[in-house]
Amino acid sequence: MSDFIFRKLFTLSFKALFNELKFGLIISMIILIENYFLYLFLTNNYLKVEAENRQSAVFKKPLAIIFLFFLVIITVLIFLYYSSQKSTIKQEANENLIAISDLKSNYIKTWLYERKSDVEFIVNNSFIVNAIYDYNNNLNRKTKEEILEILKPISEKSGSTVRIVNSDLENLITFPETTRDLGGYRKKEIKDIIISRISKTYITDFRYFENSDSLHIDIISPIFLKNDSKPFAVIILEIIPYDFLFNYINEWPTKSETSENLLIEKLGNEVVNINSVKYLKSKPLELRIPLNESENISVKAINGERGIVEGIDYRKVDVVGVIKPIEETNWILISKTDKDEIYGPLKKLTIWFIVFLGSTILSVIVLISLVFIRIKYSHKIHSLNIQKEKDTLQKHYETIIKNANDIFILTTPEGNIIEVNNKALDTYGYTKDEINKLNIKDLRVSEYRDQLDELLEKIKEEKSKSIGNNTY
CB atoms within 10 A of CB 104: 25
Q: How many Å apart are CA 131 and CA 133, to the nearest integer?
A: 5
Report the number of secondary-structure helices (H) and strands (E) in the chain: 13, 14
Mean pLDDT of 307-336: 95
Q: What pLDDT digit, counting tens, does each position of 192-217 carry?
A: 888 887 788 888 889 998 888 889 99
Is 349 within 8 Å of 86 (Cβ atoms)? yes
Among 56-60, 138-142, 194-198, 318-322, whose mean pLDDT is lowest?
A: 56-60
CA-nearest of 305, 302, 306 to 292 is: 302
Share of the chain above pLDDT 90, in %: 36
pLDDT at 9 (0 to 100): 45
Helix (H) or strand (E) holding 32: helix 2-46
Confidence of residue 45 (pLDDT cuts 50, 70, 90): low
Q: Tell me the C-alpha distance between 446 and 437, whole Å.
A: 19
State the pairing for strand pair 233-239/260-267.
Answer: unpaired
DSSP string, 68-132: HHHHHHHHHHHHHHHHHHHHHHHHHHHHHHHHHHHHHHHHHHHHHHHHHHHHHHHHT-HHHHHHH
Phi/psi at 198 (5° precision): -65, 135
Euclidean distance between CA atoms 160 and 156, whole angstroms: 7
- The CA distance from 153 to 155, in Å, is 5
The mean predicted confidence, pLDDT, of the chain is 80
Determine the average pLDDT of the residues in 171-196.
Answer: 86
In SS3 terms, 413-466 reads as CCCEEEEECHHHHHHHCCCHHHHCCCEHHHHCCHHHHHHHHHHHHHHHHHCCCC
CA-CA distances (angstroms) from residue 286 to 186, 234, 240, 254, 273?
A: 21, 30, 17, 27, 7
Radius of gyration of the chain (CA): 51
Mean pLDDT lowest among 117-131, 216-230, 407-421, 458-472: 458-472
pLDDT at residue 295 tops 90? yes
Question: Is residue 176 reached through a cis peptide bond, with omega within 30 degrees of 0 on the bond before it?
Answer: yes
Instruction: Identify the DSSP state of 296.
Output: B
pLDDT per residue as tens digits for the range 75-121:
777 777 777 777 888 888 899 999 999 999 999 999 999 999 999 99
**Whole-angstrom distance, CA of residue 101 vs CA of residue 337:** 12
Q: Are 265 and 332 in contact (CB under 8 A)?
A: yes
Does 35 have pLDDT greater than 70?
no
- At residue 431, does pLDDT exceed 50? yes
